Chain A
Amino acid sequence: MNIKMLETRAIGAALERMDGKAKVMGAAPYAFEHRVERPAYLCPVQSRIARGRVRAIDTSVASHVEGVIAVITHWTAPRLSSDENRELWVLQSNEVHFRGQFVAAVLADTLEAARHAADLVHVEYENGAHDVGFRADRADLYAPKAVNAGYPTDTDEGDAEAAFGAAEVRMDATYSTPMEHNQPMEPHSTIALWESDKLTLYDSTQGAHSVRTTVAKMLGLRPDQVRVISPYVGGGFGSKGEPHAHNILAALAALRAPGRAVKLALTRQQMFTLAGHRTPTIQRFRLGAGRDGRLKAIIHEVVEQTSRFEEFAEQTAVPTRLMYAAPNRRTRHRLAALDVPKPSWMRAPGETPGMFAGEVAMDELAVACKLDPIELRIRNEPEHDPESGKPWGNRHLVECLREGARHFGWSSRDPQPGRRSEMGWLIGTGVASSTYPRYVLMGSRASIRFSEDGRYHVRIGAADLGTGTWTTLTQIAADALDCAPAGIRLEIGDTDLPNATVAGGSSGISSWGWAIVAAARELRRKHGSRPSPGAEASADTPKEADDESFAQHSFGAQFAEVRVNAETGEVRVSRMLGMFSTGRIINPRLARSQFIGGMTMGLSMALHEESVMDERLGQIVNHDLAGYHIATNADVVNLEALWLDEVDGATPMGSRGIGEIGIVGAAAAIANAVYHATGKRIRNLPITPDKLLT
């Protein structure tokens, strides 16, 4: 690989978040908060059945509520132009695909009127028999053509069954993770405004351009007729990675009030059905090894759910294909198509649930082989990517495990479970590997113009969801142009800016940053080192970014210490440490926040999160933040994130992505620590007190 590397000065500096001041003052405008004149408010009506048809809708009472502008149903909604995306096929037919689906909407002058009138819309249904029973023994499980991100559904190397059967040490267990929801603090929101044949959306999205492309297509518009503005995003974690039904609903409703801004924010309750979710998983993991712990067979079989109307197959077994060396490996994904909303991305899709199972399985194997769990992993370190045979771009898992162990104080650990206790709390420690692929998405464009104000205006439709983009792209631009960060004026989050790929797959900085570097180099080539005001240049993420000659992944090690109350089963994580290898760190201050943020989400996954489906009703019972628990401040005591000092020669910045790896492996480290504390192996998340009470 011969990438021309940037000389770094701003990159690597722990600059304060540039949008931080606006955010601490509450002055940064999120989607719903953009100032608009005389807005109208939209309140959806949701289906009360999980499958069937809308037979009739009585809007008479609702439409007479004072302040109501329109009550929209599938009979009266404008027609969409494309039915390609069934999730976005909003109010176009009488079909109901999941409980909570939009079946009508009220547009009114005030929030209160819209909401009240929505309660008065009376919908009659032809109730179909729904099926939301997620189980691994369903006869109708099927293999998707591919899983998310285009990976093959199944892989089969050698003869895994035979090798497993013949292995001296065999580990065979089934793990499960529940349905989970992203729960960004900012609910999905949009303001839609039609001005003649142009639509403006103030949105909260991880990809303004991808919203524009999809929305334009659904509405039968040219992309240049749609503008999406999203400078600040109150979290997404994947749930804002693609447009959802609310975007289309707002656009359709706004057609009933042209020239008037229509505001729609999903309620927290609505986010449980309309903002995507992480599928529950049931995973059978088998490991066959010699007594020395060297793996002979790895078999990972995953069962997950998808909606009936649109498929999403989480790539849960994919990380298993690269983690450890074994001559015989088999992975498999099977889906249950149910009457549920379409699952979507949630932080590190695939890796998160897959590495939970895999890394607990490795811990169980370590116990069976009487080996230290770190030693077991080191013994199975693959020299090259087991699946493709490609050389590793930068694999430093072993170093992360060793360095992390050193910082965490692992060497003094007594491997016997249940040996430590203090004042009624059993204490244990656990470790797990972490990984995330390094993605660069093609298609981003950056433009740079040297302005009259003496600064370089850098423009690219990138997104900052708290990920630090406002700051890190400024730092990259500064080094690419060899000036101070104060000499850069960055604009992001608007489709009026050059195209940017979605903030997903932890690919943002690599994809956008590279486009900026290319544009900077183009500017220098065309206009030299002292350009005149008005000089500009643009460039795309270059073709050399699309290089698959190496297996490029980030790795890490997660360590956790837990305390388990011997009488109540309560689990508290007393400390966690993550040691990561993710290439050069653009901004240590912001990177640390991303890592600990991911680890906190992993803690929350391990101990708290679960969306419970009531099969009779076809809906999630605990559909609010009092019922769906995410970690509170009191749950997070001592979390530290560290990283290896490295430079990845595969991008000019030397970096890889960091947004998602923090969550990967965290739950496994905690589950392994719980085992070490108590001798009880909990294989089903979340680890709540009832699972530990005998």
Chain B
Amino acid sequence: MTPFDYERATDASSAVARVVARPNAVFLGGGTNLVDHMRLGVAHPDLLVDVTGLPFARIDLMADGVVRVGAGVRNSDLAADRTIRERYPVLSQALLAGASGQLRNLATTGGNLLQRTRCAYFQDTTVPCNKRSPGSGCSAIDGYNRDHAILGASQQCVAVNPSDMAVALTALDATVIVLGPQGERRIPIGDFHRLPGDAPERDTVLGHGDLIIAVELPASRVAAHSAYYKVRDRASYAFALVSVAAALQVEDGHVQDVRIALGGIAHKPWRALRAEASLRGAAATEENFGRAAVAELADARALKHNGFKIALARNALRMVLRSLLAGAR
């Protein structure tokens, strides 16, 4: 690890100013991803501005039904929050599906959103990686890519986003509130994470010095009938092979409202807009669920080792909708 200075931020604006002032400064939340990467040599900041003491550790139910989650709320607290469990169960489940109890007690909402890919080649500074070292090549594309993307990838990068929470937030149309050098702004979750394109080194649209201060969940009837499903290689404590965050509202046997996002398959959580479009108003049947899944995965591209994810994603999508339908009855 390269040496660094450490400071505890006392307020958000000065935290932003501190980071903006030094090109190699970063914000420190729970540290569960940052410190990991610093030890691996993937990240080498020279100043850590600790933002865990800032007043962003609350979950507030606002008058208009919007829920505002402070960026400093720990993953475990967010998952256990009554309001979240009742109104956005998919978010609670997604959080609980991730990492371990100990890590969830440390990880923050903001930090989780900024979690970087777990691609083994990205994390290994002795091998080429365009995300880590633009232009050096992608070791995964012709390497061991069982964990990698089937949608939205580019020739530069086939990594996947590892966050479960972000998949749920994507299905819920959350908004990320950011304080930057130019002031506060709101970024819809769907625009927050990027596809790799020609700049895989940029995971999100944030710039240097942008600090996540909150995430807002819109009031949503359909969100109360939601679930998170995660397929992994072992029963717990593992990243998703494929995951699905879905919300479903059925009336008179027809889909009134539906939200779907897929995880483990792309550089960002994959909002399944095609599936949603095909389902809205349609009969809530196994057949239609299957059709929607096929439509969503139609452009999926297999690499050498991850072709199974295509069928797996289709199946998982169907399974979640089926179970939400059963739960709704």
Contact = CB atoms under 8 A, between A and B. Distances in A.
State yes or no: do A and B come from one complex. yes
Interface of A: 48, 112, 115-116, 119, 424, 567-570, 572, 607-608, 612, 614, 616-617, 621-623, 626-627, 629, 631-635, 688-690, 693-694
A614 B144 contact: yes
B238 A116 contact: no
B329 interface: no
A396 B316 CA distance: 46
A40 B2 CA distance: 19
B236 A569 contact: no
Q: Which of B235, B237, B241, B318 has the most CB of A within 10 A?
A: B235
B312 A693 contact: yes
A607 B146 contact: no
Contacts of B316: 567-568
B126 A116 contact: no
B134 interface: no
30 contacts: A48-B126, A112-B1, A119-B41, A567-B315, A567-B316, A568-B231, A569-B312, A570-B231, A570-B232, A607-B233, A608-B233, A612-B144, A614-B143, A616-B142, A616-B143, A617-B127, A621-B143, A622-B120, A623-B120, A626-B118, A626-B239, A632-B237, A632-B238, A633-B236, A634-B236, A635-B234, A635-B235, A635-B236, A690-B241, A693-B315
B130 interface: no
Given A617-B127, A694-B311, A689 B231 contact: yes
A426 to B, nearest CB: 14
Contacts, number: 80
A104 to B, nearest CB: 14
Nearest to B118: A626
Interface residues of B, number: 32
B73 to A, nearest CB: 24
B2 to A, nearest CB: 6
Contacts of B231: 568, 570, 689
B1 to A, nearest CB: 6
Contacts of A569: 308, 312
Nearest to B323: A424
A608 B143 contact: no
A617 B139 CA distance: 9
Nearest to B3: A116
Given A570-B231, A627-B120, A689-B308, A116 B127 contact: no
B121 interface: yes
B315 A631 contact: no
A632 B233 CA distance: 11
B2 A116 contact: yes
B234 A689 contact: no
B130 to A, nearest CB: 16
B319 interface: yes
Contacts of A629: 233-234, 238
Interface of B is mostly: loop
Nearest to A49: B126
Given A115-B1, A617-B127, A617-B139, A690 B234 contact: no
**10 residue pairs, one from A and one from B, having the closest CB atoms:** A690-B308, A634-B235, A634-B236, A567-B315, A621-B144, A635-B235, A621-B120, A48-B126, A568-B231, A632-B237
B239 to A, nearest CB: 7
A663 B231 CA distance: 27
A632 B120 contact: no
Interface in B290-329: 308, 311-312, 315-316, 318-319
A99 to B, nearest CB: 9
Nearest to A568: B231
Nearest to B39: A115
Contacts of A115: 1
Given A116-B2, A629-B233, A693 B41 contact: no
Contacts of B241: 689-690
A690 B41 contact: no
B116 to A, nearest CB: 13
Q: Which of A112, A633, A689 has the most CB of B within 10 A?
A: A689
A119 B3 CA distance: 12
Nearest to B232: A570
Nearest to A113: B3
A693 B311 contact: yes
Contacts of A572: 235
Contacts of B121: 621
Nearest to A626: B118
A608 B118 contact: no
Q: Which of B139, B144, B234, B236 has the most CB of A within 10 A?
A: B234
Nearest to B239: A626
Nearest to B44: A119
B126 A632 contact: no
A424 B121 CA distance: 36
Contacts of B239: 626
Contacts of A621: 120-121, 143-144
Interface in B107-162: 118, 120-121, 124, 126-127, 139, 142-144, 146
Q: Which of A569, A614, A631 has the most CB of B within 10 A?
A: A614
Nearest to B41: A119
A116 B235 contact: no
Contacts of B235: 572, 632, 634-635
Given A48-B126, A116-B3, A632 B236 contact: yes
Contacts of B146: 690
Interface string B202-237: 000000000000000000000000000001111111
A21 B121 CA distance: 42
Contacts of B41: 119
B288 to A, nearest CB: 17
Contacts of A568: 231, 312, 315-316, 319
A572 B144 CA distance: 25
Given A622-B120, A690-B146, A693-B312, A567 B126 contact: no
Given A115-B1, A608-B233, A633-B236, 15 more contacts: A116-B1, A116-B3, A119-B2, A569-B308, A607-B233, A608-B234, A614-B144, A616-B143, A621-B121, A626-B239, A632-B236, A634-B235, A635-B235, A635-B236, A690-B146
